[in-house]
Amino acid sequence: MPSAATIGWDIGGAHLKAARLGDGASVEQVEQLPCPLWQGLDHLRQALDEVLSRLGPAAHHAITMSGEMVDLFRNRGEGVQRLVEALDGRLAGSGRLHFYAGEQGFVDSRAAVADPARIASANWHASAALVAARLPAALLLDIGSTSTDVAVIAGGRVQARGRSDAERLIDEELVYTGVVRTPLMALADRAPFGGAWIPLMAEHFATAADVHRLTGQLPARADQHPAADGHEKTAAGSARRLARMIGHDAEDAEPADWRRLARWFAQRQEERIAGACERALSRGLLDDRAPLVGAGIGRFMAAQIARRLERPYRDFASLVTSAPDPSEWIAACAPAVAVACLLGNEDTAHVDR
């Protein structure tokens, strides 16, 4: 028989994230596995099996997603439908499924398929809704491996301008840059090196993971996919990939030169995200005392941006537990933790709409 526990799931295009909420409503365990969904649903099924073997049974499964946008599917509607079907097929026998539909709350599988626009890419809203339940005012900054979410919380409510990916991109509430998977050519079109500005090659030679590995800020286990060249994920390997972006070999300069170039790229990425935060703050909904809440695997950058904005910093995990996060994944997997907590705060016997 399933326990009274709840598992929160965030079905992404590149990773599967899950958080187990125990009988006492405390986060017991958080997991993140690589899941290249664009390569087929078998990767999702395998990752689900692996996570379930680690987390054990549960009475309820709270689910959010952004994986419906991968090019495995013709459109988002099909993506939601096929993901719901896959999750029903694997999880329904082990507990009741609840799909997060933003302001509407949780819905069952049938309602999720009937109105996929509410389900698609609602994971950011789950994180923001949990922050809003814990803090009356804050700026949530979730910097992930692939993208960044910016959300204003004021008056204890999520004050987002956009809901769809397209709307959120326009409003810079969704910034498509992350600390692991972003190709370097998306961060700049030229870079300073050897006293000159060198145009970047429009090739997938290096990623943001190489930059943050060379600066020493990339968290352990953050980079779960193969490197751009399929070779070693070391400082030397990152320097080789970074050099290739500007037509060089790593041997053409000293290691300190490649670290300097990596810092330059990191600063450009930070400036872009900070600019989106500045735009959100310019709405005038938050005073200077409202903290910046950092989430995601790239929250080291969120803490830096908070200092840059002269704003208090709170880690997302501190809103969930007062104990240190032993796995260091509570904040990194914020949407999965959030849907589990949000469902746990509702009457799960009558929660689905």
Co-location of 198 and 135 in the same domain: no
Of the two residues 345 and 333, the one the predictor is more confident about is 333
Co-location of 89 and 155 in the same domain: yes
The verdict on residue 288 lying in a domain is: no
The verdict on residue 259 lying in a domain is: yes
Q: Which of 264, 223, 247, 246 is nearest to 235 (CA)?
A: 223
The verdict on residue 245 lying in a domain is: yes
Co-location of 256 and 320 in the same domain: no
pLDDT-derived band at 79, boundaries 50, 70, 90 = very high
Co-location of 264 and 330 in the same domain: no
The residue range of the domain holding 189 is 184-271
186-229 tens-digit pLDDT:
999 999 999 999 999 999 999 999 999 999 999 988 999 999 99
For residues 15-27, average pLDDT: 88
Helical pair 76-91 and 41-55, crossing angle rounded to 10 deg: 40
Domain harbouring 96, CATH code: 3.30.420.40
For residues 40-59, average pLDDT: 95
- Which tokens belong to 228? 């751009």
The verdict on residue 152 lying in a domain is: yes
Co-location of 14 and 145 in the same domain: yes
Q: Examine the pLDDT at 322 and tell me if it is beyond 60.
A: no
- 256 burial level (CB within 10 Å; 0-12, 13-18, 19+): exposed
For residues 83-99, average pLDDT: 93
249-306 tens-digit pLDDT:
999 999 999 999 999 999 999 999 999 999 999 999 999 999 999 999 999 999 999 9
Rounded to whole angstroms, the Cα distance separating 79 from 258 reads 41
Q: Percentage of the chain with pLDDT > 90? A: 90
Rounded to whole angstroms, the Cα distance separating 330 from 321 reads 9
The verdict on residue 285 lying in a domain is: no
Domain harbouring 198, CATH code: 3.30.420.190
Co-location of 128 and 251 in the same domain: no
Across the chain, mean pLDDT equals 94
pLDDT at 305: 98
pLDDT-derived band at 348, boundaries 50, 70, 90 = very low
Please give the model's pTM, rounded to 2 decimal places. Answer: 0.94
Co-location of 19 and 153 in the same domain: yes
The verdict on residue 65 lying in a domain is: yes
Final residue of a structural domain among 271, 306, 325: 271
Contact between 223 and 216 under an 8 Å Cβ cutoff? The reply is: no
Co-location of 12 and 155 in the same domain: yes
Rounded to whole angstroms, the Cα distance separating 18 from 16 reads 7
Rounded to whole angstroms, the Cα distance separating 289 from 286 reads 8
Co-location of 47 and 102 in the same domain: yes
Q: Which of 307, 308, 146, 298 is nearest to 316 (CA)?
A: 298
Final residue of a structural domain among 271, 292, 327: 271
Would you state the torsion angle of the CA atoms of residues 49, 52, 58, 62, taken in this order, to the nearest 10 degrees?
A: -70
The verdict on residue 22 lying in a domain is: yes
Final residue of a structural domain among 237, 255, 271: 271
The verdict on residue 154 lying in a domain is: yes
Cross-sheet strand order for the sheet of 15-21: 27-34, 15-21, 6-11, 60-65, 96-100, 106-107
Q: Examine the pLDDT at 22 and tell me if it is beyond 90.
A: no
pLDDT at 93: 82
Co-location of 154 and 207 in the same domain: no
Number of domains in the chain: 2
Rounded to whole angstroms, the Cα distance separating 318 from 293 reads 9
pLDDT-derived band at 328, boundaries 50, 70, 90 = confident
- Which tokens belong to 194? 């050897």
Q: Percentage of the chain with pLDDT > 70? A: 95
Co-location of 93 and 130 in the same domain: yes
pLDDT-derived band at 80, boundaries 50, 70, 90 = very high
Co-location of 32 and 108 in the same domain: yes
